[in-house]
A and B are shown apart, each in its own frame.
Chain A
Amino acid sequence: MNGNGPKRALLAEDDDDMRALLARTLERGGYGVESANNGRDAWELCAHRDHELLVLDVRMPERSGLDVLMQLRREGVYVPVVLISGFADGVEDLSSDYGAVVLAKPFSVEALWDAVERAPDAAASAFRSCAEPLQSTG
C-alpha cells in the first residue's frame, strides 16, 4: 500500500462520457485515477501493480475486463476489482470465483461506492479459498 498521495485507482471504460463521469466520481471520492479506454491499455497500466482499486468495464475493445481480471488472479494478484457489466453479460457467476464485485448498469453513485467498499473483502476471500492457482476457464 502506497502511503504517499491519494489512493490510486485504474478505470477502464470505452464510452467517453461514462469514463469521464466515473473518473470524476472516483476523484471526488479521494482516488487518483488512471484511465484506459480499452482492455489492452488497461492491462499494460495495471502491470505496474500500484493500484488499490480497479474499476473495469466488462465489454471493451481489444480485451474484456473479465479477461484482465482472470489474468490478474492467475498471476496471483488479488487487488480489489469492481466489474461493470451490461445487460446479460453473464459474468455474475464467474465473478465470485475471481473475487470481484459486479456492478450492473445503470448504477447510482451510492451503488458504486458500495461496490468499492465490498471489493477488498471479495478479493481477500477469493485469495484465501485457493490453495493453488486458479485454472483458466478460458
Chain B
Amino acid sequence: MKVFAKFLFWFLLASTLCFGATAYLSARREASDVEANVKNDITALGEGLREGLGAEWSLHGEPGVATFLNSVNAKRSDVDITWDRSASAGMSAAPSTTIDDSSGARTVRVVIPVSFPNGTGGTLVVARTVASQGALLKAELLDELWVMGALFAVSAMLAVGLGGALIGRRLDQVVEQARRIGEGDFSARLVVTSSDEIGALNRELNSMADRLVQTKSRLDAEATARVETLEQLRHLDRLRTVGTLASSLAHELGTPLNVLLIRGQALSAGDVAPEEVTETGVLIVSQVAKMSKMVRQLLDFSRQKQDRKSQVSLAEIARSAALLLSSLAKKNNVVIEVDVEEAVSVTGSPEQLEQALSNLMLNGMQAMTNGGELRLSVRSAMRSKKPGSPQLLVGIIEVRDQGPGIAADDLSRIFEPFYTTKPAGLGTGLGLSVASGIVEELGGWVHAESEIGRGSAFALHIPRAM
C-alpha cells in the first residue's frame, strides 16, 4: 500500500495547491467584485438622491433638504449620507469616489456635487464601509479550506478502501509469490482475475514459475548425468590403469615363469645333481615369491574401495605410486626420483590420489620416448588457484618429466577429456582430466607448466585442513 499512499499523498498535495491557488484567485476577485458593487450601489444611490434633493429644494427649500436627508439616513442604516453646504462652487458635476482605510475599516465614499438652480448647492457624500480585502479574503479562503478538507478526507477514505482492494492486497500477493519462488517453492500460482496491469503481472509470474520448474528439473537431470559420467570416466580410467598394469605384469611374469620352466624340466628329467637340488628348490621358491609379489600389487590396486576418505600422507602416495610403476618405468628407461617432505597430509581417498598421481606419471613416462628422469616431489605451500583468488594451504605433488614439452597452444587444451597428442592406441586422453576431476572434488586443482625442449611439470594441488 505504500506505493499507493505515496501516489495519493503527492496527488492530493498537488491538487490542494492548485485548488488553493484557484481559491485564492477567486477570493481576490470576489473581494474586488464586492467593492465594485458597493461603489456602483452608492454611486447610484447618490445620483438618485441628487435628483431627490433637487426636487426637495424646489418644493421646500433648504430646510427640506436636511429633513429629506435625515429621513433617508434613518431608513438606510448601511450607508452614511452627509451634506456639506459649503463646498459647492467650482466643483465639477461628476461624482468621484474615494476609498479610505484610515479608521480601521475600509470605507467607500462617493462625493457628488449638487447645485441648485439659484446657484447654491453643496456636496453630497455617500459612504459605506465594506469588510477589508484581507478579511474578505480570509473569509473566502476559509470557506474553500473547509470544502477542500472535506474533499481530502473523503478522497483519502475512498482511496484507502479502494486502493487496498484494487492494489494493495493484490501487490502483497505478488510480493508473497516472488518470495516463495526465491526460496525455491514453485508449487503455488497466483489467481488471475482481471486484465489490468496487476493481472498481467500475475499471469507473467505464473508462466515464469512454470518455466523455472522446467529449468530446475532439467538442471537436476543434467547434474545427475554429469555425476554419473564422471563416475564412469573414473571407472574407465581405473580400468585403463589396471589394463596397463596387467599387461606390464604379464610381461614381467614371463621371466620368472621361464626360470621355473627350465628348472622344473631339468628336475623332472633328472638333470639336476643331488647336491644342486636344494639350490634349485630355493630358486624355484624365489621365482614364485617374485611372481606373487607382482600379482598382489595388481590385485591390491584393482580391489581397493574407491571413496573412503581419510588423512593421507602425500609422501606415502608418492612412494606407493613410484613402486607401482617401477617395472614399467624400467622398461621405458625411465628413472623415478622421489623427493618428498614427510609431514604433508591431506584429507582424501588414498586410492583416488594414487590413481591421479599414476596418471600424471604415465603421461610423463610416455612423453619421454628415449627415457630419462621422472621427478616426484611433495611439499606444502600457500597457493591460489588463479591470480586474484584467495590463497590456500595446499599439499603439492609434482611430476616433472624430461620430455619434449608442450606448446603453449596445446597447454590450454590438455585438460579436455579425450584430448591427446599421443599416437592412437597409446593414450585415451582421459588421464589428465580424471586426475583433475579427483583433486577438484577435494577443492584442489592441477597446475601445468611446460616449455618446448625443457619438459613438463604437472602438480596436484590439494587443500589441507587449516
Contact = CB atoms under 8 A, between A and B. Distances in A.
Are A and B bound to each other?
Answer: yes
Interface of A: 15, 17-18, 21, 25, 59, 61-62, 86-89, 104-109
A107 B260 CA distance: 10
A15 B255 contact: yes
14 contacts: A17-B259, A17-B283, A21-B263, A86-B251, A87-B253, A88-B251, A104-B254, A105-B254, A106-B257, A106-B258, A106-B261, A108-B261, A108-B265, A109-B265
Contact of A106 (B247, B260, B330, B331): B260
B262 interface: yes
B250 interface: yes
Given A15-B259, A106-B260, 8 more contacts: A17-B286, A21-B263, A59-B251, A59-B331, A61-B330, A88-B247, A89-B251, A105-B255
Given A17-B283, A61-B333, A87 B262 contact: no
Q: Nearest 6 CB-CB pairs, A to B?
A: A105-B254, A106-B258, A106-B257, A86-B254, A86-B251, A87-B250
A87 B259 contact: no
Q: Is the interface of A mostly helix, strand, loop or mixed?
A: loop
A14 B47 CA distance: 153
The contact size tier of chain B is: 20 to 34
Contacts of B250: 87-88
Q: Is the interface of B mostly helix, strand, loop or mixed?
A: helix
B258 A109 contact: no
Interface string B173-208: 000000000000000000000000000000000000
B298 to A, nearest CB: 14
B50 to A, nearest CB: 146
B287 interface: yes
> Which of B247, B252, B258, B261 counts the most chain A CB atoms within 10 A?
B258
B266 A105 contact: no
B258 A107 contact: yes
Contact of B259 (A18, A62, A88, A89): A18
B163 interface: no
B256 interface: yes
